[in-house]
Amino acid sequence: MTAPTLPPPPTALVVVDVQHDVVHADPPPREPDALLAALRTLLAAARSAGALVVHVQDVGDADPRFAAGSPGRALVLDVADGEPVVEKTDDDAFVGTRLADLLAGHAAVVVGGLQSEMCVAATARGALARGLAVTLPQDAHSTYDVPAGDGGIAVPAAHVSRVAAWSLGDDVALPARSADVRFGPVP
């Protein structure tokens, strides 16, 4: 009997759209302080292991709630020296950016940030499509409640996040806590 093949340890962390206007929106995403704490845990673990950290910043104008080019588009979490910031205008942070080039040679990535069902899920799918193993810690992504609308009921943000993660399929690791994620160094 052979031992099961374990996925490679993630060697990169991609933090998606953790920007002031998004984190501090009115109403805010679900549990923004807990989200930031989880992302800081991931950042500390990735940096300690020598993993690549990439910050993704939405600079597009698709969402009228968040004015393109405004100071509110600034990143909330500190960017350490040498950590690239990728500016994007599409939900998938790979589209029209250098993210794929930055991740060349990596086999596995952790994705976290905002919004679970939009840019986080799209970027995770983009990573999967490029052959990367993806880890999406459940406490490291969040979104907003979906309001009731014509023909629909309100959906709590916690449910939206869970469904977004579930929809990525069996190839994505979904640990409950960021504290359980271990990184490897850049290959």
Catalytic residue among 119, 120, 122, 127: 119
* Distance between CA atoms of residues 18 and 39, nearest Å: 9
* Distance between CA atoms of residues 86 and 14, nearest Å: 10
What are the strands, taking DSSP E only, across 59-117?
A: 85-88, 108-114
Asked if 123 and 12 touch (Cβ cutoff 8 Å), the reply is no
Query: Is 185 considered catalytic here?
Result: no
Q: List CB contacts of 18: < 8 A, sequence separation 6 or more.
A: 36, 39, 55, 75, 76, 77, 113, 114
Query: β-strand 141-142 against 108-114: which pairing, if any?
Result: parallel
DSSP state of 54: E
* Distance between CA atoms of residues 110 and 17, nearest Å: 14
Q: Active-site positions?
A: 119
